[in-house]
Amino acid sequence: MQLKLVPTSVLSLCLAAGSALAAGPAGWIYTTTNATSGNMVVAYARAANGALTWAGSFPTGGMGTGAELGSQGSLVMSHSMQWLFAVNGGSNDISVLAVTSSGLQLTDTVPSGGTMPVSVTVPRRGVLYVVNAGSDNIAGFKLSSTGMLTPIPGSIQSLSGSGVGPAEISFDPDGDLLVVTEKNTNLITMFPVGSDGVAMPGQSMPSSGMTPYGFSFSVRGQLFVSEAFGGAANGSAVSSYRVGPGDTLLPVSKSMPDYQTAACWIATDAAGHFVYTSNTGSNTLSSYLVEFDGRLALLASQAAQTGAGPIDMTVTSDGGFIYTLAGDGTITGDKVRADGTLVAFASGVSGLPTGVAGLTGW
């Protein structure tokens, strides 16, 4: 069944963002309220200087949890920038919203194939996978041209055990390998995916460091993983890997410290030259230089300040800006210079509700 819901305030959308839309915003940034009364995607128009203007709130058709999800990738955008995908952890389903000239339009909400979905991923070929933290499994779906999701038979696979605490699921750049980080087991689990979109049983390997959390693939296929080390004071790190024969992960740089606390979320720039991680216990971002072979070198332990308790981050598709969502209801903005250094600016976002989750855009 196709669902079509009207934005909660079309008039406010027009008034608040009309001038930005008329001029054509440089991009868009999205987050979700994750509210137990009904999850909603909040949209912001991005100006050329990086400032954000509220542009409306759009129902997902599902329920949030009202509390931080402990994951990266709870809200993602398709490579075509045509679709948004959101998890609804409180109602055990996932939603698809079409990105249109008049706002976001809900096209489908379907059961996630498990309980407590926390992260989704979509490669270029129209296959979506979700990881469910409550049931410790992954599940796959086909995405139609009209934004409808259909479960892929035989795609549900288990993680390494029970209560593993999955933090993120994502495809590699080729779209034939799924990766899941498991916070509670210190494992990284890989699932080969066939041309039919069906994931095979997973194989797990130890993470280089403790509490592997968010991760990001570069355009060269290198994998960068943040390591929270159980929240140990000033104990955080980032490791890099490359995909080896038999879909194995081979460490390149092992646990390069950033001397901050609870590195959880991570992002790479568009060219794959720099890696940024948010440190939830320190309210900072750290930056790393990436060599061509994937080796890491710390650029700045404290590259930028964030709001209290950063819980997600995203780099714009042009690589010019990085935004960080924090538990205090703010989104901070930093301009990315050519040398990877960050310059803070006022993004203009505060007052988001407690429990807000996910950050994406372009």
Q: What is the mean pLDDT of each run of 10 residues along the chain (362 residues)?
A: 37 35 78 97 97 97 96 95 97 97 95 98 91 98 97 98 98 94 98 96 97 94 97 98 90 98 94 95 98 96 97 93 97 96 96 95 94
Q: What is the pLDDT of residue 101?
A: 87
CB hemisphere CA count around 172 (13 angstroms):
21
Q: What is the pLDDT of residue 23?
A: 53
Read off the amino acid at residue 199: A
Q: What is the pTM of this model?
A: 0.92
Tell me which residue has tokens 């379907």. Answer: 110
Smallest CA-to-CA distance from 318 within 28, 8, 17, 70 is with: 28
Domains and their CATH numbers in the chain:
10-361 (2.130.10.10)
Q: What is the pLDDT of residue 2?
A: 35
DSSP H or E segment with residue 286: strand 284-290
Q: What is the pLDDT of residue 18?
A: 37
Smallest CA-to-CA distance from 321 within 313, 310, 329 is with: 313
Alpha carbons 327 and 308: distance in angstroms, whole number: 6
Q: What is the pLDDT of residue 246?
A: 85
Q: What is the pLDDT of residue 270?
A: 82
Q: What is the pLDDT of residue 316?
A: 94
- Distances in whole angstroms, Cα of residue 163 to Cα of each of 158, 216, 290, 348: 11, 23, 33, 38
